[in-house]
Amino acid sequence: MNHKPPIFIGADHAGWELKQAIKKYFFDSGYDVTDFGNLDLDPNDDYPDFALAVAQNVAAVENARGFLFCGSAQGMVMCANKVKGIRAALGWSINAARSSRRHNDANILCLPARDLALSLARQIVDLWLFTPKSSEERHARRVQKIAEYEAQQTN
């Protein structure tokens, strides 16, 4: 991959340490990273604040990728997927991450910090970033159906 996509990240207090480690990894690898917080490990934070900020920015910037970190990552996935144009996936394993990019063209990966060691999280992040979406018609057709449904929705 010659062109590195802009990366937007966010985490609540439960995902803060993993986010900090992955953020350093991104910077060291030459990525343009924007961190939407939690910036100071505030235990009274609310994950929707970070999920929505990351999702809105990923949706607004062509080819952007997002990473969200929290304890289970479930709330982050639910919240991010409320934003039109977002296909957020739970990245609890290498296979889940690969499939989310290849079959679903996911643009945000949500990582469960309580379930992943840093070494596995880095493997998942790398794999997800470098896995292209499938060129198979059946996968494109399914992602298109999601986009068509979104387009029919009113706010």
Give the domain ranges of the chain: 7-152
**Whole-number average pLDDT of the chain:** 93
- DSSP code, position 133: P
- pLDDT bracket for residue 155 (50, 70, 90): low
The torsion angles phi and psi of 23, rounded to 5 degrees, stand at -60, -45
- pLDDT bracket for residue 51 (50, 70, 90): very high
User: What are 110's strand-pairing partners?
Assistant: 68, 90
Whole-number pLDDT of residue 55: 98
CA 43 from centre of chain: 22
For residue 70, give both structure tokens.
Answer: 């929290």
Fold for the domain defined by 7-152: Ribose 5-phosphate Isomerase B; Chain: A, (3.40.1400)
Q: Which residues are catalytic?
A: 70, 103
What does the alpha-carbon distance between residue 87 and residue 108 come to, in Å, rounded to a whole number?
Answer: 6
